[in-house]
Structure 1
Amino acid sequence: LPLPLTALLGAFGIIAANSWMNTPRGFSLDADGSPVDVDVRKAIFTPMFGPEYWHFVAGVVLTAGYVVAGVYATGWLRGRRDHYHRLGFTVPFTVAAVLTPVQFVLGDSIARSVFHQQPLKFAATEMVWKTDTHVPEYVFGRLHPDGTISGGIKIPQLDSILAGFSPDTRVTGLSSIPADDRPTATQATIAHWAFDIMVTIGSLLVLLALWYGWCWLRHRGLPRSPWFFRCAAVAGAACLLTVECGWITTEVSRQPWIVYENMRVSEAVTDTRAPALWAMLALVIVVYALIFATFLAILLKMRTRWRTADERHGDAHAAGTPEGDTPYGPRRTTAAAAPDHGSAHGDGGGR
Structure 2
Amino acid sequence: MVLDDPLRRLTRRRAGWLAVAAAGVAVSGFFAVAVGVYRLVVADPGFDRGDVVALIVVFTTSLGCAALGGDRLRVLAHRIRATAGENGFGAWLPSPAAADHDPRIDFGAETARLRRIAGRAAALILVWVALFTGGFTGISLLDEAADELLATGERVPGVVVSVHTPDKGTWSMQVRYGERTAKIVRDTGHRYHVGEAVTVVVDRADPAHVRTTDEENENQFAFGCCVAALLIGLAGTPVAAGAALGWRRRARAVAVTGWRVATVDVVRGRSADPRRRPPPTLYVRYPDGTGIVLRAVPSTHGAKALADFTDRLAWVGGWGREMAVLFPRGPRRPEPYAVPAAAKTPRAASAFRRSRR
TM-score, normalization by structure 2 = 0.30
Query: Which protein has greater RCO, CA pairs closer than 8 Å, 6+ apart?
Result: 1
Higher strand share: 2
TM-score, normalization by structure 1 = 0.30
Larger Rg: 2
